[in-house]
Structure 1
Amino acid sequence: MEKKELHYIHSFAEYVDRFIKALIDYSPKLISAFIILFVGLYAIRFINRLAKKIMVKRELDPTLSKFLADSLLWALRVLLFVTFISKLGIETSSFVAILGAAGLAIGLSLQGSLSNFAGGMLIILFKPFRVGDTIEAQGVVGVVSEIQIFVTKLVNGNNQTIFIPNGNLSNGTIINYSMAGMRRADLLFSLSYDTNIKTAKDIVMKVMQDHPKVLKNPAATVSIRGLSDSAIQLSIKPWSKNPDFSDMCSDILENCKEAFDAAGIVVQPYVRETTKK
């Protein structure tokens, strides 16, 4: 038993000596790799902060600035990681091949997400709308609250948050109500055939001229849209600035109705025509 114990002790001592020798031989690579790692992490933070300051100074779009800063951050981190494991003596060619194969597999499985990513890039670069704009797209209307890489977030008039995939958004029709800075309303009154058309048009023009939120230029217009079987259709088209649009439309309709009532003009109710059998 004593000889076996001495043999085990001797073998263990040899293993310890070999481990210490290997550690000593390998320690320069280990120390230099961790120095590169810590210095690299500090340098990445510094470069990222510097890039953000430059983009803010150049007044780039906030969404684009964030995306570019994040992309730069992760690209530098990957480069640092490859440098770190290479300094440790690990073969990087096989690692890069595995990374490429994994990227291809992930790309094939996330084709829809990549389409949304490409759509987000197109929106950020070509700017068909910005944060704060009121747009209509994919059958919904809302104010753009955030443009993300994969989706765009809208808030509609009911304060509901709507997420639209950027792939669908960039490939579809977008109506931007805010880009021009002002907007025209298309309002309609149906009046009785007993109405004097000139008097009705004069009343409407006065209502629009007296309203502070109706723009003088472009000028508001009043015209006859059509003559139905039951009414004269009066088309009213005032202009306003985008923030005033909803209030202006409501006020014009209300003020015109009150003015018509005061002048004895009858607003014709909608009549659905039916065929008797």
Structure 2
Amino acid sequence: MEIRQFGTQFLSGFSEFGPRFLEAAVVIFIGWIVSKILRRVCEKALEKANRDLGIISFLSSAVSALVKIIAIIMALSSLGLNTNVIVGAFSAVGFGVSLALKDNMANVAGGIQMLFTKPFHVGDYIAAESVEGTVERIELMFTTLRTFDNKEVIFPNSKLTDSIITNYTAQDKRRLDLEFGIDYSDDLLGAKKLLQKLAEENPKVLSEPAPLVVVS
């Protein structure tokens, strides 16, 4: 009798809540697919607009996250929960999570700051926190560098915004200092003229600004 009663109650509950759970699952599934599609559409649209690769990666990941959040809210709403209560709960949870994950929130804020200030772009060669490498990705929370010896270094965005960044690619012209030892008994004037001539005749040396040879 108890088994029959349990079965009856189960079927009654399933007939009432089963469709809602199914609807919520469908909403989540569609939301995840839409988030991927919109991410690709956003990436292609920004690429056609010749936007920086860092901006493309950052904005596309933000759009994907926003669509997923909306899908979760819609799924909870389909279960019969009040939308205002859901939004309020998300706000309360978000506040608590923001306190617990303040470092991650700082990384997101750092990513937004770099998005607007643009201290470097994808493909630039930079140095920060005693690490040098080529910028491969600028994402919502992290920036990835590829070092000269092919190591992948992942920087939290907040670390980058708080550190001194040297961008070796920002300027198309750079000065290169070369030092040569000259004995006191050698002809200093002749050595200067020879080095000046070699520099001026080198096709890789710019004529403006002109190369300079000094003796110290």
The TM tier, using the shorter chain, reads 0.7 to 0.9
Structure 2 unaligned segments of length 5 or more: list them: none
Report deviation, 1:81.
2.5
Measure the CA separation in 2 of the matches of 1:21 and 1:180.
69
How much does 1:45 deviate?
Answer: 5.0
**From 8, 12, 17, the counterpart of 1:16:** 8
1:106 aligned counterpart, secondary structure: helix
1:55 maps to what in 2?
Answer: 46
* Equivalent position SS for 1:194: coil
Q: How many residues align?
A: 216
Asked if residue 116 in structure 1 is aligned to residue 107 in structure 2, the reply is: yes
* One-letter amino acid of the counterpart of residue 54, structure 1: A
Task: State the distance in 2 between where 1:206 and 1:22 align.
Answer: 90
- The match for 2:185 is 194
- Structure number with bigger Rg: 1
Q: Please tell me the residue identity of whatever aligns with 1:55.
A: L
User: 1:201/1:127 Cα in 2 relative to 1: closer, same or farther (>3 Å)?
Assistant: same
Give the corresponding residue for 2:176. Answer: 185
- The residue number in structure 2 matching 1:173 is 164
Structure 1 residues 213-240: Cα deviation after superposition (integer angstroms, max 9, x where no partner): 222222111123xxxxxxxx3xxxxxxx
Q: Report the counterpart of residue 137 of structure 2 in structure 1.
A: 146
Which of 82, 91, 103 aligns to 2:73? It is 82
TM-score, normalized by length of structure 2?
0.77
1:177-256 equivalences in 2 (<5 Å): 177-224=168-215, 233=216
Is the strand fraction higher in 1 or 2? 1
Q: Say which of 119, 134, 142 aligns to 1:128.
A: 119
Change (3 A) 1:155 1:36: closer
Deviation string 1:35-68 (CA, Å, 9 cap, x unpaired) is 7666656655554443333222212222322222
Q: Secondary structure at the match of 2:174?
A: strand
User: What amino acid sits opposite 1:16 in the alignment?
Assistant: T
Q: Which of structures 1 and 2 has the larger relative contact order (alpha carbons within 8 angstroms, sep 6+)?
A: 2
| RMSD across aligned positions (CA) | 3.4
